Amino acid sequence: MILADKITNLRKKNGWSQEELAEKMQVSRQAVSKWEGAQTVPDLEKILALSRLFGVTTDYLLKDEIEVEEVTDDTDQDRVPVKRVSLAQANEFLELRKQAARRIAAATFLCIIAVIPLLLLSTAAVLPGFPLSENMAGGIGLALLLILLVPAVAAFLLCGFQNAPFEFLEKEPFETEYGVDGMVRERQNAYRPSYVKYNILATCLCILSALPLFFNAFTENEFFAIVSTTVTLFFAGIGAVLFILAGVRWASMQKLLKEGDYEVLRDPQVQRKRRIRKNMAAAYWLTATAIYLGWNFLTNDWGTTWIVWPLAGLLFAVLQCLYNLLADRKSN
């Protein structure tokens, strides 16, 4: 029995038309018709897909001497076929994530520096000769904070909407068509020097960003202390930008190659842990923001409440370590 006859028999056995088989295989109906008419032979990727779809071995499909249908271990004939990523889709995804890296980096930088005008104005308002009252300075600083946050939030939302068609790369098993892995691997190798350079530079900036805070030990000037803090925030923001520019693009390539953190995405337990960690992080930072704003509105002490953010960052790192430790202990 030749391959063409086997495809036809298996299709009819499942009660599918040529159009339905074409849809499940993500090919045209004409391609299926040519397979069944022995005009063309499916390539290796399609043979593997047919094997999974019909639940038979590739030997049964390819060898003429095997007349009895050999069923694979997975006998679920009604399962949904694994999604396949074409070369065009992979290129589109990588280009979208490249654009998203810039938007997310810019939005994150705005979120970090948004508090700087508020800190400077609130502290300067208590200095002799400053033309604005404390309330007016605080109000202007808060308005500038919101003005900087609006485009940041818009950028985050835009990236989320653009990435929506490719969410299955994180949530569902998928396969790549011929040529995709090679293309992504080539891009990854070309981008690797930039990835390493950005991460090294970002790490150095984040470490050095704390340097201005050390000068506070040599002065009791409150305004100088706030200026030092804003300088720290500014350089830490630049470090975060470099981390994001490198990380988002690198992660997009790892998703398609199923490497690194994305190598075990098919494990339901891993997916569950990631969802828990993501939801916990969102709840944590929303709580920290609520505490910061509530403290300021109750005390009107915008000049000192900035301490919430470095403490929140330190506590977040501690909580993450504890969560990972408990999760590993539970797994073991």
For residue 72, tell me if it sits in a domain.
no
Percent of the chain with pLDDT over 70: 83
> Residue 91 falls within a domain, yes or no?
yes
Q: How far is CA 12 from CA 15, 54, 246, in A?
A: 5, 11, 50
**229, 138: one domain:** yes
Structure confidence at residue 326 as a pLDDT band (50, 70, 90): confident
Determine contact, residues 246/199, Cβ cutoff 8 Å: yes
| Whether the Cβ atoms of residue 305 and residue 296 lie closer than 8 Å to each other | yes
The answer to whether 110 touches 151, Cβ cutoff 8 Å, is yes
Contact 239, 202 (CB under 8 A): yes
76 pLDDT above the threshold of 50 = no
Give tens-digit pLDDT for 245-280. Answer: 999 999 999 988 888 777 654 455 556 666 677 778
Backbone CA torsion sign across 91, 94, 95, 96 = positive
**Residue 75: pLDDT band with limits 50, 70, 90:** very low
CA–CA separation, 231 vs 241, rounded Å?
15
> What local confidence, expressed as pLDDT, does residue 64 receive?
63
pLDDT single digits (tens) 36-67: 887 888 888 888 888 888 888 877 777 765 45
- pLDDT-based confidence at residue 104 (cuts at 50, 70, 90): very high
In the chain, the number of structural domains is 3
- In this structure, is residue 77 part of a structural domain? no
Q: How far is CA 16 from the centre of its chain?
A: 38
Give all strands (DSSP E) within the chain, no chain letters: 83-85, 174-176
DSSP 287-315: HHHHHHHHHHHHH--TTTGGGHHHHHHHH
Condensed to tens digits (0 to 9), the pLDDT of residues 172-189 reads 778 888 788 889 999 999
Does this model's pTM top 0.95? My answer is: no
Q: Using CA atoms, how far apart are residues 62 and 44, in angstroms rounded to an integer?
A: 10
- Within-domain flag for 70: no
Which three-class secondary structure state does DSSP give residue 56? strand
Provide the Cα torsion 312, 316, 318, 323; round to 10°. 150
Most confidently modeled of 26-35, 183-192, 210-219? 183-192
**Residue 157 carries which side chain, given as an amino acid letter?**
L
On whether both 220 and 319 belong to a single domain, the answer is no
Residue 121 placed within a domain: yes
Residues 110 and 182 in one domain: yes
Alpha carbon distance 185, 238 (integer Å): 29
Question: Residue written as tokens 């403490």?
Answer: 311
CB of 291 closer than 8 Å to CB of 299: no
**Contacts of 158-162 spanning 24+ positions with Cβ under 8 A:** 158/103, 159/100, 159/103, 159/104, 162/96, 162/99, 162/100
User: Is residue 132 included in any domain, yes or no?
Assistant: yes
pLDDT the model gives residue 68: 52
In a domain, 98, yes or no: yes
Write out the DSSP string of 39-58: SS---HHHHHHHHHHHTB-H
Q: Which structural domain range is residue 21 located in?
A: 3-62
DSSP label of 82: P
Domain check: are 131 and 234 in the same one? yes
Same domain, yes or no: 194 and 113:
yes
Which pair of structure tokens corresponds to residue 258?
A: 């199923």
Sign of the CA dihedral 260, 318, 106, 278?
positive
Task: Give the tens place of pLDDT for each residue, 217-253.
Answer: 677 777 787 888 888 889 989 999 999 999 999 999 9
Backbone phi, psi, residue 94, to 5°: -65, -35
How do beta strands 83-85 and 174-176 pair?
parallel
**Does the pLDDT of residue 27 top 90, yes or no?**
no
Instruction: Say yes or no: 317 and 248 in one domain.
Output: no
* CATH number for the domain that contains residue 36: 1.10.260.40
DSSP string, 104-161: HHHHHHHHHHTHHHHHHHHHHTTSTT-SS-HHHHHHHHHHHHHHHHHHHHHHHHHHHH
| Shared domain check, 308 and 273 | yes
More confident of the two residues 288 and 97 = 97
Q: Whats the size of the chain, residue-wise? A: 332
pLDDT tens figures, 114-137: 988 988 888 888 888 888 888 888
Please write the tens of the pLDDT for every residue from 283-306.
Answer: 887 788 888 777 777 776 665 676
Residues 127, 203 within the same domain: yes
97 & 244 share domain: yes
Tell me, what's the pLDDT at 238?
A: 93
